[in-house]
Structure 1
């Protein structure tokens, strides 16, 4: 009898262990789909480390429970089954605070975007004005789509400055000086009445491209945001590189001209002083004396193919490529994505950048590197903010009260 009893206990433990293992594997598949979007079953097996048979069984069970849908697709020339999450009612929101813009967007757990809104900001905007405006935009977006605030799990925030990891304090705020030293986690959590996770905007541009579309399986992706400032974000196997200090990717403060103009950081000849949108606007104003020139006029002139503006863009690309070349030698990236407001008309900029980066780096380091303009244009950072929030919800659950 004791032997029989002992066998029953062992069998019971076995059953419990198998059930727990199945639940863990199922959650791993769900989290992977949420973090990386629709996947073929073969891709799910690679990403999760589970066998194809285990993935197939889990997908069959999730389909029966209405948590995923499947469709037949062609992948790598072969017919495959693609798996897509069904929204579960939870959503995240993203906010992108820029030097002269504010954007908000929502994302459900199936990674379906909704409610993109944007507003212009003055160059000297302050937290006391901008954060309440963002709250109003978020509330209007949720109301329009019939979403209860209780279903909003987390807000992701993109910000154009280096941020101290534990507090979210603005460490380096040359683009938005009125925000320097502000504890962004505390300020945004209070203003939005939501838990907030935040990150530098260039990093979130990298996440948006590494976590979406054709670059989702890229090993090393570098994102360059060319705007009022110039920043770089790095994604390795879909995960952001984050430094302990919060300062990384400050390529705009690489010295590219000896004895050049004084930069906001205090040094001379930084990349931002010769290749940012701020410099493009100043150069076009010099060419067109007596006229008020802004970024829209630069973009319009580039769209119209004006030779002087195309030359300005090409020359800016050459200098950016000069700063990018050491990064190519260090990382040999698979993809370099150029984003920011000029991405829509950035052909000459990209041409100059590629020519310069390849000329100044080892041929082998960039032999397989793909250089592209962002297809998300101005919206990359707010997409990245939503993805950052969604990944955190799916991996850590709903009880989120702080950034880290």
Structure 2
């Protein structure tokens, strides 16, 4: 007797829902694709894509516009602006930045302001919440139009609790449940990751690492840290502390680090160490001053930053030898000083990493500049948003 292999209505519905989700996920990831590009990205036929896109337009999940590809007219699909906005926050040692973005990867408003050293968590989080409300008003909406918030914080984050995983990474913030505090203030879901991790996510999705699956993002700032994308996914490690380059020991008899160990990389290339080297020649300056002077061609500042990049490159070389990423992307404040920093780090990595006969790792400057971590916070919020659920 012939077995009936006709799919049941339930299985057909499940398949259609799965295909819808694949299409929405692809549009969320890339910001906007033609229907032909969507078919390639999802593995679905163009006819299936066309049918589902029409359904999604009807329910307000996506919108379409006429564009051209290779001289031919095409229909570009993006997440509908009416689906809502997400917010991104970057909390650094000396600055706070906030942005609003739509689900098509466009930034619609942003603002940044400096913060004092060792800024208080309650004050900084209040400012962040107020800035979000202010930006929403500027674009003509309110908290009802906000879907979620992503936070990039200058410290490793324990994924289970959202608390800072390493003492001393951001002084005074260790016991602060950032996500819970902001959720209470904004009444919206809040997700927190390390800023280096979100810098890696942003460069992987939209920047210098978007064509590969394994990315090491090195953030050279007031301290040194890294974000890892392995197999296309952000890698946290078992406790959320993956990527803490600044706490790799480089001098066993060196100064005591904020983490309590001796001779960590940050004691050699962190803000305090760099400013101490330059104090005899320049007096009291800030790290921003040093970066600006290096941009303007000051040989002393350029030398100090290049030396810091070379030492960092030795540590990065160990990570490259261990994990074999396809690209190392360099970001953070120090990378803004000019090509010398990236070149010095690249040369050091190639000198100290295991030589590869066919594919030595590429070491490049980030394409998103100082906004990488903020853009990564927006990407985190988008990733965690159920677009179809919102539309329904």
Q: CA deviation at 1:74?
A: 4.5
Return 224-233 or 274-283, whichever deviates more.
274-283
> Cα–Cα, structure 1 residues 32 and 251, in superposed 2: closer, same or farther, change >3 Å?
same
Q: CA deviation at 1:305?
A: 0.8
Q: Which residue of 1 is the match for residue 69 of structure 2?
A: 73
Q: C-alpha offsets along residues 173-232 of structure 1, whole Å, 9 cap, x if unaligned?
A: 423211112222222222333221110110000011111145323111111111111111
> Cα–Cα, structure 1 residues 132 and 26, in superposed 2: closer, same or farther, change >3 Å?
same
> Cα–Cα, structure 1 residues 213 and 349, in superposed 2: closer, same or farther, change >3 Å?
closer
The CA distance in 1 between the partners of 2:107 and 2:322, in whole Å, is 35
Normalised TM-score (structure 1):
0.87
Return 103-112 or 207-216, whichever deviates more.
207-216
What 5-or-longer segments of structure 1 have no aligned partner? 1-6, 400-404
Give the count of matched residue pairs: 386
Does the 8 A contact of 1:70 with 1:83 survive in 2? no
Q: CA deviation at 1:306?
A: 1.3
Q: Which residue of 1 is the match for residue 359 of structure 2?
A: 367
Q: C-alpha offsets along residues 297-340 of structure 1, whole Å, 9 cap, x if unaligned?
A: 10221012111111112111110110001111122212211111
Alignment map for 1:231-246 (pairs within 5 Å): 231-246=225-240
SS in 2 for 1:265: coil
Return 358-367 or 343-352, whichever deviates more.
358-367
From 349, 354, 357, give the equivalent of 2:341.
349
The CA distance in 2 between the partners of 1:127 and 1:58, in whole Å, is 46
Does the 8 A contact of 2:86 with 2:147 survive in 1? yes
Q: Which residue of 1 is the match for residue 179 of structure 2?
A: 185
1:340 aligns with 2:328: no
Q: CA deviation at 1:57?
A: 4.5
Does the 8 A contact of 1:207 with 1:238 survive in 2? no
1:88 aligns with 2:82: yes
Q: CA deviation at 1:102?
A: 0.4
From 157, 178, 182, give the equivalent of 2:151.
157
Q: Which residue of 1 is the match for residue 384 of structure 2?
A: 392
> Cα–Cα, structure 1 residues 147 and 320, in superposed 2: closer, same or farther, change >3 Å?
same
Does the 8 A contact of 2:96 with 2:112 survive in 1? yes
The CA distance in 1 between the partners of 2:360 and 2:45, in whole Å, is 31
Q: Which residue of 1 is the match for residue 140 of structure 2?
A: 146
Does the 8 A contact of 1:95 with 1:156 survive in 2? yes
Return 52-61 or 262-271, whichever deviates more.
52-61
Q: CA deviation at 1:238?
A: 3.5
What 5-or-longer segments of structure 2 have no aligned partner? none
Does the 8 A contact of 2:208 with 2:367 survive in 1? no
Alignment map for 1:147-226 (pairs within 5 Å): 147-213=141-207, 215-226=209-220
